[in-house]
Structure 1
Amino acid sequence: MSFSSEPSPRTTGTVSSYFSSSIPPDSPSLPSQRSYSQASQAYDEDEFEDHFEAPSNYSPSVSSSRPSVTLTTTSTAISRPSTPSGRRSRRGATPSILGQSESNDIICAVSESRGITPTVGIANVNLSLGEVTLSQICDNQSYVKTIHKLQLASPSRIVFMPSACAPNRPSTLFSLVEKLVPEAETACHERSAWSESAGIEYMEHLALDGDIGSLKVATQGKYYAVCCLSAAMKYIDHQFDVTFSLQSLRIGYQPSEDTMMIAIPAMQSLEVMRNLMSAKSKECLFGLLNHTLTPMGTRVLRNNMLQPSIDFNGVIRVRYDALEEMVSREEMFREIRKALKLFHDVERTLTKLITIRPATGISAAEEQITHILMIKSFLESVPEIYQALYPAECNLLVKIRNLCCPETTVPILLMIKKVIEADVTYMKSPLDLRNQRAFAVKSGISGMLDVARQTYKELTEYIGQYSTGVGEEHRVAVALKFDNRRMYWLRIPTADLDLESVSQHFINVIWKKKHIECQTLDLVKLNRRVADTSNEVMLRSDEIILKLVRDLRKEISPLFRVCESIALLDMIASFGQVTTTRDYVRPLIEETLALKSARHPILDKKMASEYVPNDYYATEQYRFHFVTGCNMSGKSTYIRSVALLQIMAQIGCFVPAEFAAFPIIHNIFARISIQDSIEANLSSFGVEMREMAFILKNVDSRSLAIIDELGRGTSNRDGMAIAMAISEALIDTGASIWFATHFIEMVRVLADRPGVLNLHLASNTSIDEGGMPQLNMLYKATAGTVDDEHHYGIVLARAMGMPSSFIEVAETVANDLRRRRESNQQNSESHKEIHRQKLMLNLYEALKQAAKSSNPEALLGYLRRLREDYLERLQEIEEM
């Protein structure tokens, strides 16, 4: 392996090799010098592959050749070589269910132990952001956690050991990755690259200064994760000829148990990252919360929403404190948002600075200078953040302020200003940026550079005078324009332009509606001379810039930490923006889920005052919620709200409610959609059963599951039987379940099971002037089951315009079925016994909760009310 703190030698050659000649003797005389103004502003493959469904737009290539893939982090495009180690090339977009993400080059190495419970090591190396994430997962034979981790990472290439991707007998994990992560290209690397000692050596040489000790402690005993780091780095060096400067990479270990797992179907059906109807729509949870002002902040928000934290004391609570202080201090909040608007995507710039590539030529020199200008602009903007955070008192904001203190940033900025002009900054306009790069290095450092810049300045001034002369000659208003492809060109209105003169004097003519874009032969010659002179300026500047880059690489650790702190601040400020505009409240983290007047976050923004809020309550005593109601009563919205609010609470955001308390949830599952899967040759019921099999295999007492209309894809009798069997299994898991259904009989049968709470979305019927019943939705959750004697479905069918003859027959059948059901009900004594047992179990659970109280006076009053309630309910049972 090789580590380097020096850049690869850049081939500059002689000046004559880049420039054809200086200004020819016969060229028009140049104007005299004047003041120059600088530029302006464990799955079984058959059982679970549908759960990790491939993107709908994925179409496997029938070609056996490997197309080239471009790494975007280089100064010039580097084509990925065709290698025999890759099994196949499959380049696609990031799965649409994860929303729009940036184009990142992520190389992932995966290795596993063999056994009943395999241990999987993962190393994700983000070449675009200079970040390495190590994980070691204790998975099962289905590789649930591993596949989920890879899907969220969206790697461009996944590297395996040769034994895992053997053509005749590939491993189960490799086969699953090929099927379920189709946007990634698979490859293998030689067995000798997977070395623990080499991985430790990479950590010692490449990790940021100050991180090495904690990183070694975190990865101690994580053999497979460390081996994957070695393989990933050697693969990158071998395939792309890319190395990194010493102590420059952000290497971190991420335990798989530290974040919530949101199942991919849940992320899709709950519209966490994107809207189901339109990928460009902002009507999703990410679109609601994304008010970030920097690309770094957007990335942090996206990563947190994909994997919310489960660490209350270390992460969630400190974010609550920071957000509360931010929204309570209006002036500080406004200044923070104002300061954040000044920042570019410096995270990518710093990564390019530490990446050592064999790039040569003018484009590499220009890009290097651009990077320095962006870092200079970034450092000049940091004091604004420091000043805005001056009044902060909470721990997180104070820590961010300390990271952005002048003692950290000013010495680095002074180092840059020793070489770069103080008033030169990064600009977005092509011409402005070109001029800024040309005059970036201070005068007096290199005599030859000063001479080349003087020539460049005189040429650009002469081009301005030349364009004025063209306008005077043709008596038209000429505007001088510039772009990187054509360089200088002329825009001339066609209103007063003689068309004959166009063909005689102008070349490269592009006709527009009201003007032409063109050049002249003299202007093309001048462009060439300007380009030659600019190239000489760039090359001579680059000799000076390279030394500055070497010095800046030694300061990369504090720069990355400042960048990360600003990204986190941007995310919290984004939460503050939505909190102040939508009237959110700070949640409590308790063992009980209790929400008062909670609102669906997306619909709350869309419907504003029209939305009807609802209450939620879930404890160990009431953890399985049956939600019934007529069609269009709001059942789906009600159950989805609780999952979305749980995600918001665990990423550190306030929630739309009058009061909110949440437990810490480790997994979120959802079974909502009723779509079939043509690719997998499955009906909607088949997809439903596979997804429920996945949930049953992975749900536990720390999970939350949303299930909507289970069993509706088959016959009514079979569907209810399956739904009842699955419900009983879910009740036994102790998970928090929100189950919307139309199977009223099932709800009544399971109502006596411990932990079950029946709710229904209220509605009422009224009689219109014609004597017909009308259905009015109240959208309010109420205890008990929906009263099916009103035949809400029939009333709704009448409201939708069904013929009265059909409605009459439907009512006759429904009434007959109801009479038969009532005649087959159990005797009243058996019903009483069941209710007595449930009442005793509820009393037992309530006493268990009361035993945890630390307030004797409140406890005494609670016990009195509990006794009165128990006697009252017992009397009601005896009178049944």
Structure 2
Amino acid sequence: MATYTPMIQQYLQVKADYQDAFLFFRLGDFYEMFFDDALKASQELEITLTSREGGSEGRIPMCGVPYHSAPQYIERLIEKGYKVAICEQTEDPRQAKGVVKREVVQLITPGTMMEGRGLQEKENNFIAALSPFSDGSYGFAYSDLSTGESKVTLLKGDYELVLNEIALSGAKEVVIPSQLSEELQLKIRERFAATLSFEDNETINESFSTLLNSMEETKLKSTISRLFNYLYRTQKRSLDHLQPVNRYEIQQFMKIDYYSKRNLELTETIRSKGKKGSLLWLLDETRTAMGGRLLKQWIDRPLIKKEDIIRRQSLVEVFMSHYFERQEMREKLTEVYDLERLAGRVAFGNVNARDLMQLKRSLYQIPHLKSIIAQMEDEESALLAAQLDPCEEVVDLLERAIVDNPPLSIKDGNIIQDGYHEELDKYRDASKNGKTWIAQLEREEREKTGIKSLKIGYNRVFGYYIEVTKANLHLLEEGQYERKQTLTNAERFVTPALKEKEALILQAEEKSVELEYVLFTEIREFVKCYIPRLQRLAKIVSEIDVLQCFASISEERHYVKPQFSSERLILLKEGRHPVVEKVMNAQEYVPNDCYMDKEREILLITGPNMSGKSTYMRQIALTAILAQIGCFVPASEATLPIFDQVFTRIGAADDLISGQSTFMVEMLEANHAIENATANSLILFDEIGRGTSTYDGMALAQAIIEHIHNKIGAKTLFSTHYHELTVLDKELKQLKNVHVSAIEQNGKVVFLHKIKEGAADKSYGIHVAQLANLPNSLIKRANELLENFENQGESVQPPKLESGQLSFFDEPVIKEASPFSAKEKKALDQIREIDILEMTPMQAMNTLYELHKKLKG
């Protein structure tokens, strides 16, 4: 290191502690980066790469950004998953002996963003922490630094349970101990775009011990301590806005695993990965950022405690029955800014005067909201109204202290109201009177000299001056003014009186700006004392916002209040898929009934592709989720059980990152449901077994149905194209056949999208291919082949198995029960060797047809 210049040595010493971050090293008006940081940043930020003398080692790579535009560059790096360490000058350069002292004042990471584009107003920015324990359990905690909310739980299970909680939290960064297994680290990296950070200190710090709410569980304490220690270490400041930690149990909520959340498109769609088209998109009529975040949390974790669900339902019903009050309430909510994040900015020390004006305007609305809700004259709504805290002291202070339209900067003055502080008023008066005196002097000097163009100006280098053009210099008396500066076309002068007034004005302005900054920090500290009250207020406002949103959606879309059955009864009349119904707009959505009781535990659904089987299955699950978050549901009548879990296997998708095929993903998701479902769960299986050969697929499908029927007893909707499975209703008492109806008109299929009792009579697969505009010659040939197959009686029959004989994935039993002869198995092996995935559909069909004729002969 001695071969480098002293400044570069200082840089390397600081960088040694921040190897995993870009080091923004303050040099004057720029943040500079050197060595590998410079090479990488120049590419990522598309900025010019230069170099500078580094010592005897020669020139070193360098790039930089102006300090005033640094936030936009930092945001771009954070969005890419990087970390940025901000290294500031901590010593006045004028007083420095040698190299100016510098130190890192903050480490900005994906999970610790407090402002900027990366912080979506209706989304939490969670950072999580994970702690493994010797008994196989894991502590899991997550916190949103921008709002101060934190949660912690203990997980007992396999990696999948841990990964599922990370997915539900949506954490952008996961803090782990260095000894966490490489296998789990790899799984986190594979599945999530989260940044992994290391923190081994899990000692409970005195400064946040009160946040643990007298938590007795040591494992939970150590996990949340790991997270908080990381936050304090990286942010290097007081985090007074951190709220008491909320312990939760995953059993308190309906479990919706990662796959099911994705398949049901609860918060984002599968294809676009965006909000539009999801259940969240449908429901989000919230008026505040806080309400939007709470709505997403409710969707992620539906309730299972009936009393809590009924409470939400009751409030939705009250809001629905008070239309005019609700509309007025929505208008007031629109004027409420993000109280949670404003409180966070106050504590973090980066709040400005405009933020405080947003806080004041938000608090103005609270008495109005309180009055509106009180008018509804309902016990539950009255409790809500009573919890609305207007924080009058904060409003009063901000009203007296801050001007209505303050500037962004808090260090340039013009923030504090006249009359708020006596000394400040004196400085302002001196400055104002001094400027008035200067304007008067300018008029007097023009009259005295007869020079109408004479003017008194100001700049930071020379202060105030009298400027006379060279054409008018002859009008001045010798020695009348003291010459200060010569320009091309003018001369600048000063007088003793002008310099005296200048000193008075500048001193007053400088002291005024300094005093305003001091006063602003005092106001900020006063507001800081109200952070707990503001956070409690934010929670109530958020809840009101989400409940009014449910009321508005339910009224607008004609949803009904669901009843809950202790007999595990599902009774939905004229049920609809909420999102599809909205997307269709004016088109007529075909509603469908669903009835399931103790005698109808499994519905085996048959019918053609595109007829609506998947939509029907999804709408049952979405209706259950809507009911358990407290919203009304899309039906004319609804009775539902309270489900503990929802499992879905709908649609096909390869997991390319981990190298798993569509069929493997299908089997893993099916296994996850079968391993974890209870009699109080809801299972949706769509086309299980289609990813393998016909006999394999049908055997697996039947085995799965039997296992659910005989060993689990969960409410299950199972759609299939294996029509042969419809005979199972003769053997399985709680299984019933239903189908999506379709009719043939003039050789073409017409989908009626109506669920009817009984099995479908055919699949209409070739008709669907025709709708997809496959070549007419291909369609004609397919019809000929189908007719030949049907005439020759080559329809496939399901394996004849005794109940319970074929267990899930029981390979030896499957082989033993196989209906294939040795000759048929050999033929199938030949078929499997043909790589039809590399062929066009026509080539594949012709190849298989020729092989079929050969084998048949």
Q: Same fold (TM over 0.5)?
A: yes
Give the corresponding residue for 2:522.
Answer: 547
Tell me the distance in 2 between the aligned counterparts of 1:185 and 1:571.
Answer: 33
Provide, for residues 681-732 of structure 1, a one-character-per-residue CA deviation record: whole Å limited to 9, x for no partner. 3322222222222222222223222211111122111111122222222322
Find out whether 1:420 has 2:401 as its counterpart: yes
Q: Given that residues 453 and 537 in structure 1 are in contact (C-alpha distance below 8 angstroms), is that contact kept between their aligned partners in structure 2?
A: no
Find out whether 1:346 has 2:330 as its counterpart: no
Tell me the distance in 1 between the aligned counterparts of 2:172 and 2:795.
Answer: 62
Choose which of 181, 194, 201 in structure 1 pairs with 2:192.
181
Find out whether 1:382 has 2:366 as its counterpart: yes
Give the corresponding residue for 1:526.
Answer: none
Q: Given that residues 108 and 157 in structure 1 are in contact (C-alpha distance below 8 angstroms), is that contact kept between their aligned partners in structure 2?
A: yes
Change (3 A) 1:369 1:651: same
Change (3 A) 1:284 1:175: closer
Choose which of 451, 456, 468 in structure 1 pairs with 2:427.
451
Deviation at 1:329, TM superposition (A): 1.1
**Further displaced range: 373-382 or 775-784:** 373-382
Give the corresponding residue for 1:696.
Answer: 674
For 2:305, give the aligned amino acid. Answer: D
Give the corresponding residue for 1:744.
Answer: 723
Give the corresponding residue for 1:777.
Answer: 751
For 1:403, give the aligned amino acid. Answer: Q
Choose which of 68, 72, 95 in structure 1 pairs with 2:84.
68
Change (3 A) 1:780 1:241: same
Choose which of 719, 731, 735 in structure 2 pairs with 1:756.
735
- 1:700-719 to 2 correspondence within 5 Å? 700-719=678-697
Choose which of 259, 263, 282 in structure 1 pairs with 2:276.
282
Tell me the distance in 1 between the aligned counterparts of 2:274 and 2:192.
Answer: 23
- 1:398-797 to 2 correspondence within 5 Å? 398-404=382-388, 408-417=390-399, 419-420=400-401, 424-425=403-404, 438-448=414-424, 451-452=427-428, 455=431, 539-590=514-565, 591-607=568-584, 608-731=586-709, 732-749=711-728, 751-766=730-745, 768=746, 773-788=747-762, 792-797=764-769
Find out whether 1:224 has 2:219 as its counterpart: yes
Q: Given that residues 174 and 194 in structure 2 are in contact (C-alpha distance below 8 angstroms), is that contact kept between their aligned partners in structure 1?
A: no
Change (3 A) 1:119 1:409: same
Give the corresponding residue for 1:112.
Answer: 132
Tell me the distance in 2 between the aligned counterparts of 1:707 and 1:101.
Answer: 36
Tell me the distance in 2 between the aligned counterparts of 1:176 and 1:686.
Answer: 17
Tell me the distance in 2 between the aligned counterparts of 1:436 and 1:316.
Answer: 52
Q: What is the alpha-carbon root mean square deviation over aligned residues?
A: 4.0
For 1:126, give the aligned amino acid. Answer: D
Provide, for residues 328-384 of structure 1, a one-character-per-residue CA deviation record: whole Å limited to 9, x for no partner. 1111111111111111112101112223x6xxxxxx5xx343343232222212112
* Percent of pairs with identical residues: 23
Find out whether 1:146 has 2:139 as its counterpart: no
Deviation at 1:414, TM superposition (A): 2.8
Q: Given that residues 412 and 513 in structure 2 are in contact (C-alpha distance below 8 angstroms), is that contact kept between their aligned partners in structure 1?
A: no
> Could you say what secondary structure the match of 1:577 adopts?
helix
Give the corresponding residue for 1:303.
Answer: 297
Q: Given that residues 104 and 127 in structure 1 are in contact (C-alpha distance below 8 angstroms), is that contact kept between their aligned partners in structure 2?
A: no
Give the corresponding residue for 1:323.
Answer: 316
For 1:575, give the aligned amino acid. Answer: F
Tell me the distance in 2 between the aligned counterparts of 1:238 and 1:821.
Answer: 66
Tell me the distance in 2 between the aligned counterparts of 1:81 and 1:821.
Answer: 64
Tell me the distance in 1 between the aligned counterparts of 2:510 and 2:699.
Answer: 77
For 1:599, give the aligned amino acid. Answer: R
Query: Larger RCO: Structure 1 or Structure 2 (Cα < 8 Å, ≥ 6 residues apart)?
Result: 1
Provide, for residues 472-503 of structure 1, a one-character-per-residue CA deviation record: whole Å limited to 9, x for no partner. xxxxxxxxxxxxxxxxxxxxxxxxxxxxxxxx
Deviation at 1:733, TM superposition (A): 1.5
Change (3 A) 1:534 1:694: farther
Change (3 A) 1:227 1:657: same
Change (3 A) 1:269 1:318: same
Deviation at 1:434, TM superposition (A): 8.5
Change (3 A) 1:439 1:341: same
For 2:648, give the aligned amino acid. Answer: A
Tell me the distance in 1 between the aligned counterparts of 2:233 and 2:154.
Answer: 25
Deviation at 1:778, TM superposition (A): 1.3
**Further displaced range: 746-755 or 794-803:** 794-803
Tell me the distance in 2 between the aligned counterparts of 1:254 and 1:202.
Answer: 23
Q: Given that residues 137 and 154 in structure 2 are in contact (C-alpha distance below 8 angstroms), is that contact kept between their aligned partners in structure 1?
A: yes
> Could you say what secondary structure the match of 1:780 adopts?
strand
Choose which of 203, 210, 213 in structure 2 pairs with 1:205.
210
Tell me the distance in 1 between the aligned counterparts of 2:792 and 2:428.
Answer: 96
Deviation at 1:565, TM superposition (A): 0.6
Change (3 A) 1:454 1:666: farther
Aligned residues: 635
TM-score relative to the length of structure 2 = 0.67
Q: Given that residues 322 and 572 in structure 1 are in contact (C-alpha distance below 8 angstroms), is that contact kept between their aligned partners in structure 2?
A: yes
Tell me the distance in 1 between the aligned counterparts of 2:287 and 2:551.
Answer: 13
Tell me the distance in 2 between the aligned counterparts of 1:612 and 1:105.
Answer: 39
> Could you say what secondary structure the match of 1:714 adopts?
coil
> Could you say what secondary structure the match of 2:572 adopts?
strand
- 1:783-822 to 2 correspondence within 5 Å? 783-788=757-762, 792-797=764-769, 800=773, 802-803=776-777, 805-816=780-791, 818=793
Q: Given that residues 370 and 388 in structure 2 are in contact (C-alpha distance below 8 angstroms), is that contact kept between their aligned partners in structure 1?
A: yes
Larger radius of gyration: 2
Provide, for residues 743-782 of structure 1, a one-character-per-residue CA deviation record: whole Å limited to 9, x for no partner. 111232355213212110011223x3xxxx3322211111
Tell me the distance in 2 between the aligned counterparts of 1:678 and 1:204.
Answer: 44
Tell me the distance in 2 between the aligned counterparts of 1:818 and 1:416.
Answer: 86
TM-score relative to the length of structure 1 = 0.65
